[in-house]
Every structure is written in C-alpha cells, then in structure tokens.
Chain A
Amino acid sequence: MIGYLWAAASILLVSAAQLSMKWAMLNLPPAHNLSDFLSALLAITPGALALFAGLSAYGFSMLCWVMALHHISLSRAYPLLSLSYILVWFAALFIPALDERFYWGTLGGVVLIVSGLLVICWPARARQAE
C-alpha cells in the first residue's frame, strides 16, 4: 500500500513539474535568444522561479519513484505512469494561464497511447483474472 502512495506522489509531482515548466517557458523570453533567456533567469523573474520549481518537483518525483519501486514491482508500477499523461493533458486544459485548447483528436491520441501502455505493462496475472 505504501508503495502505491509513493507512486501516486511521484505521478502528481511529475505532472505538476510539466505544468510548471510549461508556464515558466511561456513567461521566459524565447530560448533561442540565449542572452535574453539567461538574464531573465538571473533576474529571478516569476518564469525563472516557476522553472526552478518545476525542475525541483521533477527531481522529487524521481526520488518518490525510487521509493515506490522499493515496495512494488516495476511491472505493477509502470502502468501507473501513464496516468500522468492523462493528468497533464486534462489539467492543462483547465489552467487558463497555459492557454491550451481542447481537440477531440488529441483526446483520441492520448487514449491510444494510454491503451498501448496498458497493453504492454498490465501484469499478465491480472489479465488472466479478467
């Protein structure tokens, strides 16, 4: 049980990390203009803080993942990772600052990917029990 809690924490953190990094990159100057980009980072703008927060959340999510794998097997934990695709896709649509739009096509794409991951990762025993 504790393993699943660590996995859930990891998934929430990695999803939050992606959303935070996305907001950061929207609010930082274009990265191909390296000097502008770096000076915005050094000036500790809100975008720079969000980038730092996102990268930290990403790091912590990896730590939680390692903790999760101490308790549950990789084949059980891996399907859970695909939840973060749904979470990020869904959350991004509801965060006005990210300005993302809903398309039926992207819903279809996410459903295909998640079902593919489930086909690969779902433990064989659970499939036989169905």
Chain B
Amino acid sequence: MNILLIVIASLLSCAGQLCQKQATHCSDKARRKQHLLLWLSLSVMLLGSAMLVWLWVLQQVPVSIAYPMLSLNFIIIAFAARWLWQERISLRHSLGIVLIVAGVVVLGIYA
C-alpha cells in the first residue's frame, strides 16, 4: 500500500513536469497564451496533488526510505520521453535505470 502511494506520487509529479514541457511547445502563435495557461495550470494541479499524496506517504514511511524511492521519477520521465517524443534510451541510460530499479526495490522491502 505504501509503495503504491509512492508510485502514485511519483507518477503525478512526472505528469506535472511533462505538462510544463508541453506548455513551452506551441505551434499556433495566435493561441500561445491560452496554450501556456492551460498546460501550466494543469501542471500546478498535478504537482499539488503529488505533494498531497507525498505528505500522506511521509506520515507512514520513514523519510530516509521514501525520499530516495522518488528516483522512480527519472525512470518514468525517460520512458515518457521515449513514448511521447521518440527520444532514444541509450545503453548507458538503460544500465542506470536497472541500477535505480534495483535500489528502489531494495528500499521497498523496508517501506
């Protein structure tokens, strides 16, 4: 249950960050302001709910265990960039991801 909450907090904050990136991408000049406002407010909403979930996590899991598990964000962002913008994941990047996942799994045992 605690691990699920940490994953949800991580997913929400990544979604918020991706919206920030999307806010800076606008092809239509006439609607740029509207586009920026829409994506930025969506981002603030997602980051705010991520923070609420995170505070709930902190009430149940030691911060020395929960906080490093947020490195899940690096992995989620890498996969999202691959899926949304077709960015390549290099061999070195994959090795790093494997190490991070291993670390998160080890910490998850204690969460």
Contacts and interface: CB of A to CB of B under 8 A. Distances in A.
Interface of A: 18-19, 21-22, 25-26, 28, 30-32, 51, 55, 82, 84-85, 88-89, 92-93, 98, 100-101, 103, 105-106, 108-121
A25 B59 contact: yes
Contacts of B93: 120
B106 A109 contact: yes
Interface in B19-65: 51, 54-56, 58-59, 62-65
B107 interface: yes
Interface SS of chain B: helix
B110 to A, nearest CB: 6
Given A92-B62, A116-B103, A109 B96 contact: no
Given A25-B59, A26-B59, A85-B71, A112 B100 contact: yes
Nearest to A101: B62
A114 to B, nearest CB: 8
Interface size class of B (residues with CB under 8 A): 20 to 34
Given A92-B62, A111-B103, A85 B67 contact: yes
Given A105-B110, A119-B95, A119-B96, A113 B104 contact: yes
